[in-house]
C-alpha cells in the first residue's frame, strides 16, 4: 500500500511509526472508517501538498493550563498525540489541561487520545470539528460536523427514546 518511505519518498518515516500505527489500531478496534482505508487518501493529500509533512504542531500560546497549537496542515494523529501529551502535562501541574489544535488534517479515532490520557491517570476529552458531513437524526441535509456533534446527537436521541 505504501510505495516509498522516508528521504524523498512519498511518506515521511515518522508516519510509519505513528500515523500508520494509529490507523491499524482503528482497524483492530473495528473502527474501519478511521483505519487503513484512509492511508491512500493521506498519501494522495501529502503528495498534492494539502497535507504538510510536518511532524509536530507549533505552540502558539502556552499560558498556565491552556495551550494553542498550529498544526500547519499536518496529519492530525501526529499533532493530536502532541496535544494530548501537553494536556496531560498541564493537568498534572495545574489540575486541568486544555489544548486546542488548529489547522490540522484528519486526526483519526478520538479513542486514541482519550486512552492516552487514561494511561497517564487523567480524564481525557477529544473532539474535532469539520464542515457539515451528516444530517441530524431524521434529517436530509448535512448539518452535523464531527465526532463530538455526532456523539451528542446519538446521546440526545437515546435520551429522547428513553422518555
Q: How far from 148 is each of 109, 111, 121, CA to CA, in Å?
A: 12, 12, 22
pLDDT value at position 72?
A: 95
Task: Work out the angle at residue 60's Cα, subtended by the Cα atoms of residues 22 and 114, and round it to the nearest 5 degrees.
Answer: 30
Q: By the 8 A CB rule, do 153 and 137 touch?
A: yes
Q: What digits encode the pLDDT tens for the residues 91-111?
A: 999 999 999 999 998 888 888
Quick check: pTM over 0.85?
no
> Rounded mean pLDDT of 44-59?
90
The one-character DSSP state at 78 is: H
Give pLDDT tens digits for 23-48. 889 999 898 888 899 888 888 888 89
| pLDDT of 3 strictly over 70 | no
pLDDT at 108: 87
d(CA 63, CA 25) in angstroms, rounded, equals 33
The domains located in the chain, with CATH, are 13-119 (3.30.1370.60), 129-163 (no CATH)
Q: How confident is the model at residue 84 (pLDDT cuts 50, 70, 90)?
A: very high
| Helix 20-28 × helix 111-119 angle, to 10° | 90
73: left (phi over 0), alpha (psi -120 to 50) or beta: left
Q: pLDDT tens digits for 126-141?
A: 888 776 666 667 767 7
User: Which has the higher per-residue pLDDT, 150 or 128?
Assistant: 128
Average pLDDT for the chain: 79
Name the 3-class secondary structure at 66.
Answer: strand
The set of cell numbers assigned to 110 is 478520538
- Checking if the pLDDT of 144 tops 90, the result is no
What pLDDT score does 66 carry?
95
The answer for residues whose C-beta is within 8 angstroms of residue 35's C-beta and 6 or more apart is 23, 24, 26, 27
How do beta strands 98-102 and 142-144 pair? unpaired
What pLDDT is recorded for position 135? 67
Residue 53: all three cell numbers together: 509533512
**18 Cα distance to chain centroid:** 12
C-beta neighbour count of 76 within 10 angstroms: 22
Would you state the pLDDT for residue 86? 96
Amino acid at each position: 500500500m505504501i510505495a516509498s518511505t522516508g528521504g524523498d519518498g512519498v511518506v515521511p518515516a515518522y508516519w510509519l511509526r505513528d500515523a500508520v500505527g494509529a490507523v491499524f489500531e482503528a482497524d483492530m478496534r473495528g473502527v474501519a472508517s478511521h483505519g487503513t482505508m484512509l492511508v491512500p487518501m493521506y498519501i494522495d493529500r501529502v503528495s498534492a501538498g494539502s497535507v504538510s509533512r510536518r511532524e509536530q504542531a507549533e505552540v502558539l500560546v502556552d499560558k498556565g493550563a491552556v495551550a494553542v497549537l498550529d498544526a500547519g496542515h499536518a496529519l492530525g494523529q501526529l499533532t493530536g498525540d502532541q496535544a494530548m501529551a501537553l494536556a496531560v502535562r498541564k493537568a498534572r501541574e495545574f489540575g486541568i489541561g486544555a489544548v486546542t489544535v488548529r489547522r490540522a488534517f484528519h486526526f483519526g479515532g478520538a479513542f486514541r487520545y482519550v486512552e492516552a490520557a487514561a494511561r497517564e491517570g487523567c480524564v481525557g476529552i477529544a473532539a474535532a470539528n469539520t464542515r457539515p458531513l451528516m444530517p441530524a437524526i431524521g434529517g436530509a441535509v448535512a448539518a452535523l460536523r464531527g465526532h463530538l456533534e455526532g456523539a451528542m446527537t446519538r446521546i440526545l436521541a437515546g435520551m429522547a427514546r428513553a422518555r
